[in-house]
Amino acid sequence: MITIKDNRCDYCAACVTVCPPLCIEVRESSIEINDEECINCDLCVYICPIDVLEQANEK
């Protein structure tokens, strides 16, 4: 599962452009990831220019 660190997203939408299942929605003042559709490819984590997204360790 991908999580959003704090709330410091600058809403650049870089994550949306690389998301294969298109499960990320960036609005004017929020970002949401549909966990049910997410395939955990981590592409959004790698492309985020300000390191807002991270892969949560599921135990």
| Neighbour tally for 49: CB within 10 Å | 9
For the chain, domains (ranges, CATH) are 2-55 (3.30.70.20)
56 or 51, higher pLDDT = 51
Residue with tokens 């410091």: 8
pLDDT reading at 59 higher than 60? no
Phi, psi of 24 (to 5 degrees): -110, 130
Q: Provide the residue type at 26 as one letter.
A: V
Summarize pLDDT for 5-43 with one digit per residue, the tens.
877 899 999 999 999 999 999 988 889 999 999 999 999
pLDDT at res. 57? 75
Whole-prediction pTM value? Answer: 0.85
In what helix (H) or strand (E) does residue 40 lie, and over which residues does it extend? none
Q: Where residue 58 falls among pLDDT bands split at 50, 70, 90?
A: low
Phi, psi of 22 (to 5 degrees): 55, 50
